Amino acid sequence: MSIMKRLKTETAADHKRLESYPYFAAMAEHTLPLECYVNQLKGLAIIHGVLESALAEAACEPVASVWNDSLRKLPLLAEDLEFFKPRIEPDYMPAIEAALAMAGKIRLRSIEDPLTLLGYLYVFEGSTLGNHMHQPDITATFHLEGLTGCRYYESYGQQVPEKWRQFRQTMEAALGDADLHDPIIAAAHEAFAGLEKLYSVLFPMEKRKKSFHVTRINPEAGNHPLPEDEREIAAALTASNRAWALYPYYQARYGERGKRFSDSDTCWLVTLINLDPESLCQQMNWLVRLLATRGMPSIMLEKTIQLLHEE
Most confident of 111-120, 210-219, 239-248, 295-304: 111-120
CA–CA dist 187, 114 (Å, integer)? 11
Q: What is the DSSP string of the chain?
A: --HHHHHHHHTHHHHHHHHTSHHHHHHHTT---HHHHHHHHHHHHHHHHHHHHHHHH---HHHHHH--GGG--HHHHHHHHHHHGGGPPSEEHHHHHHHHHHHHHHHHHHHH-GGGHHHHHHHHHHHHHHHHHHHHHHHHHTT--TTTT-TTTTSSGGGHHHHHHHHHHHHHHHT--GGGHHHHHHHHHHHHHHHHHHHHHHSSPPTT-EE--GGGT-TTSTT----SSHHHHHHHHHHHHHHHHH-THHHHHHHHHHHHHHHHHHHHHHHGGGS-HHHHHHHHHHHHHHHHHTT--HHHHHHHHHHHHH-
**What mean pLDDT, rounded, does the chain reach?**
90
Residue 124 clears pLDDT 80, i.e. is over it: yes
User: What is the predicted pLDDT for the residue at 208?
Assistant: 59
Cβ(106)–Cβ(190) below 8 Å: no
How many angstroms separate the CA atoms of 269 and 305, rounded? 8
pLDDT for 293 equals 87
pLDDT category, 19, cuts 50, 70, 90? Answer: very high
Higher pLDDT among residues 69 and 234, named by residue = 69
Which of the pair, 27 or 227, is modelled with greater confidence? 27
- 163-208: pLDDT as tens digits: 999 999 999 999 999 999 999 999 999 999 999 999 999 999 887 5
Residue 33 pLDDT greater than 70, yes or no: yes
Interaxial angle between packed helices 93-112 and 34-57, expressed in degrees from 0 to 180 and rounded to the nearest 10:
10
What local confidence, expressed as pLDDT, does residue 122 receive?
Answer: 98
Predicted local distance difference test score (pLDDT) of residue 233: 85
Q: CA separation (Å) from 104 to 33, 50, 98, 146, 220?
A: 28, 9, 10, 35, 11
Rounded average pLDDT over 196-222? 77
Report the share of the chain in percent with pLDDT over 90: 60
Q: Is the pLDDT of residue 209 over 60?
A: no
pLDDT digits (tens, 9 = 90+) for 41-81: 999 999 999 999 999 999 999 999 999 999 999 999 999 99
Range from 78-82, 180-184, 211-215, 219-223 carrying the lowest mean pLDDT: 211-215
